[in-house]
Amino acid sequence: MSSIETNSELAFDVPPEKRPRHIAIIMDGNGRWAQQQSLPRVRGHQQGAHQVRVVTETCSKIGVEQLTLYCLSSENWKRPQEELEFLMLLLTQYMIDERQTMIDNNIRLKIIGSRDRIPADVQKEMDKSLELTANNTGCCLCLAINYGGRAEIVDAVKQISAKVKANEIDSDAIDERMVSEHLYTAGMSDPDLLIRTAGEMRISNYLLWQISYSEMWITQKCWPEFGEAELLHAVEDFSKRKRKFGGLDKA
Bridge partners (DSSP) of residue 123 are none
List residues with catalytic annotation: 28, 76
